[in-house]
Chain A
Amino acid sequence: MWDQVKQALDQSTTKFLTGLAHQLPGMVALIVALLISFVLAWVLAIVVRRLLASIRFDERLNRWGFASIQEWSPMNSPTRLVSRTTACVVILAGFLIGIAAFDAESTSLLVRSVFAYVPNIVGAMLVLLVGSIIASFLARSVLIGAVNLNLQYARLLSLGVKWLVIVLAVAMALEHLKIAPGIVDLAFGILFGGIVLTLVLAVALNSKELVTKSLERDVKEPSGENIEEPFRHV
């Protein structure tokens, strides 16, 4: 009986140690991959930061109309945001490589599904980027146009247009990521409709005064007497 227990214990110890020994190269590979990716990420982050600093990326971004990125960047610097994102991507890639080496059979499925999802993430990021460029361009166009038309609610209009495009871009990006498509559709409909309704109400309420002024002017001006404005610009 004691021999049988000893034999079972030996077998389980051998099995465990064999299994451990079997996993050890994978673990070492994971640690090495992580270490290398950390070093690579650190070097790459420095290179990216210096490169972006040399082309004054923060200033340029500000000029291109992406001042809002600064607000939610680490240390208010979009350069740091880009360099840290680059580092994170490299570390993630190193981790996935390490995981694949750790246990090819059980983890390959995870790695494969993660890599299969990468195009969706890239696509969504592109949609967001293009969306934010278009949003900021249109917002600026509307703001300048509305100010020149002497519309008191110019800023509101511009913000409305900006958020319309951003909501559209976010909805498209989430659709691309296949995250809760039903909820996204519903939320998008509600948000988009809400913004349009807000804009319509704001414009209508602000226009009340404009219409009143216009009517008053019509009443004050004697009908038939067309007073020509003498101002000519070009």
Chain B
Amino acid sequence: MSERNPVSRFSRAIGRTWHPSPALLLIPGLLVILFLFLWPLGQMIYFSFTDPTVGFANYVRFFETPSEIRSLITTMEVSFLSTLICAIVGYLYSYTMLRSSKTVSNLLMVAVVLPMGVSILVRTFSLQAILRDTGIINQTLLNLGIIKQPLPLIRNSFAVAVGIVSMELPFMVLPMYNSMVQINNKLLLAGEGLGATPLRVFIDIFFPLSLPGVLAGSLIVFVSSLAYYIVPQLLGSGGQLFLSQDIAHWVQDQAEFGYGAAIGVILLLLTLGTLFIASFFINIDKALTQSTGGK
């Protein structure tokens, strides 16, 4: 212990050695999470069990109402569908990025990541302007005489899926591209050298090796799209609701906090349940770091 060490001077002053642990630096962050996240979350969970009566009444009510069950199924169905489409589109996009020159590859990366800087609300409104009956697609087709009536491109699950895929594509492409880039080209050459057709090489060597990225990306996208609110609100039909729209309706329009909180808890459990089941198949830590590009 040297004279220049302030800890040692302090320790000698109080008569015992005290080495502050670096873990103490976590305290400010933990306090923020505590007051801005955990406390409100705890209150909402509390409301769900006590407002208007103590007990499971809100949860029983949810599972006894057909329209709520429909919302639950719609949320899961449309999220699953969107994840599937996003996976296919994302895979094609990542593969293209892999097989292009460095410049094109960088351009494609920028093209998929840059829109994230624009607010999701603005992007959803512009999708609305594109897909609606009086929007660009329909008006062009009508004016060209290709169709006589506007195509039903909006206010249905198709539009919601388009919206979700459009917002979630970066989160799918990044982990996929990451895992594809790490595939050793020599393995593919070895396959060819042993006489496999390009198709066999893809199916037997490339695709299985890229699968971790596909699963990681799909998990992120699925779990994110369960919670979507703006996209189904602006692009969906008023009838098929997502759970998040349900919650907004009960809390804002009907002022029933307990019921809304209960639906929120159900959504939370759905999300955590999905992550839990997926953790048996995927390494969640790795999936999260890959989806943010390791940053």
- Note whether A and B form a binding pair: no
